[in-house]
């Protein structure tokens, strides 16, 4: 007698490692959404305070560190606002570096791509985040180091009457620093406002949106497509 075939008629689809990471990231976002406003206020208020200490405590590149950095008792990702405000030097830079979500190559199509995702043409340049507060605008690289410090028209981004605003105002932007081409295609920024902010077209991640993100002409050099979960 032939053995019974005990295999199930239906097999659950395997979940890829990338999909598992996406789900874990979305779960973490949902858990921390309640603290987002306090976290944003802390980012804005601490940019100026940590800038001087971060640069002053930087070790000379030619000399090895005298002793290894001590690991904090609390995991870096678990620091609350009060704990993070006490960081100095390299630890401050590391903390700021963790505020940007780093993209990865999309090697498989996530479920509900059309319903849950946006797509846009990514400009060529440096990923950074920009914070305006206390009359100053500061941009930081992905590693947490200061990229630029300049006045801007963002809320509380310059010490002028027009854009100063109330003392508690601030603005946080996820940006890509794209240097203007030397062809003169874009008007140069003014002497006071050294850098210009431009929005990027964002499309729903359906067939029409994907084609538009890929084929539509934009006033900057494209560096692929970037997908954002809604």
Q: What is the mean pLDDT of residues 173-192?
A: 60
Burial 40-70 (b: 16+ CB within 10 A, else e): eebbbbbbeebbebbeeeeeeeeeeeeeeee
Q: What are φ and ψ of residue 116, in 5° steps?
A: -110, 0
**DSSP-derived pairing of the beta strands 126-133 and 117-123:** unpaired
pLDDT at 191: 47
Q: What sign has the CA pseudo-torsion 205, 208, 212, 215?
A: positive
pLDDT bucket at 186, cuts 50 / 70 / 90: very low
Q: What is the mean pLDDT of residues 111-126?
A: 92
Give residue-wise pLDDT tens across range 48-105.
565 555 555 555 554 444 444 444 445 555 554 345 545 667 776 777 777 777 778 8
Q: What is the mean pLDDT of residues 145-172?
A: 77
pLDDT at 67: 46
Q: Considering the entire predicted model, what is its pTM?
A: 0.61
- Is residue 128 over pLDDT 60? yes
CA distance 116 to 92: 34
**Structural contact between residues 178 and 196, judged by C-beta atoms closer than 8 angstroms:** no
Domains of the chain: 21-56+88-99+112-182+191-229 (3.30.470.30)
**Structural contact between residues 89 and 57, judged by C-beta atoms closer than 8 angstroms:** yes
Q: How far is CA 105 from the centre of its chain?
A: 16
- Token pair belonging to 138: 């500061």
Q: What is the mean pLDDT of residues 41-45?
A: 68
What value does the mean pLDDT of the chain take? 73
Q: Give the list of residues 6+ apart from residue 135 with CB closer than 8 angstroms, or none.
A: 151, 156, 157, 158, 159, 164
Most confident option among 91-100, 124-133, 175-184: 124-133
């Amino acid at each position: 007698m032939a053995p019974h075939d005990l295999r199930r008629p239906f097999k659950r689809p395997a979940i890829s490692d990338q999909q598992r990471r996406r789900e874990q990231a979305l779960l973490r976002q949902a858990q921390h959404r309640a603290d987002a406003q306090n976290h944003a206020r802390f980012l804005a208020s601490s940019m100026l305070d940590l800038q001087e200490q971060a640069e002053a405590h930087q070790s000379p590149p030619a000399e090895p560190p005298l002793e290894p950095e001590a690991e904090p008792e609390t995991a870096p990702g678990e620091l609350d606002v009060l704990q993070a405000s006490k960081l100095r030097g390299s630890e401050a830079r590391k903390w700021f570096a963790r505020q940007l979500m780093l993209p990865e190559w999309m090697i498989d199509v996530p479920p509900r791509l059309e319903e849950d995702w946006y797509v846009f043409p990514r400009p060529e340049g440096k990923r950074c985040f920009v914070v305006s507060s206390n009359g100053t605008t500061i941009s930081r690289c992905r590693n947490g180091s200061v990229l630029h410090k300049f006045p801007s028209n963002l809320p509380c981004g310059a010490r002028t009457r027009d854009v100063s605003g109330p003392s508690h105002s601030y603005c946080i932007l996820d940006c890509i620093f794209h240097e203007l081409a030397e062809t003169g295609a874009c008007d140069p920024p003014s002497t006071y406002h050294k850098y210009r902010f431009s929005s990027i077209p964002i499309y729903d991640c359906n067939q029409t949106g994907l084609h538009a993100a890929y084929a539509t002409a934009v006033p900057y050099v494209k560096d692929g497509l970037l997908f954002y979960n809604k």
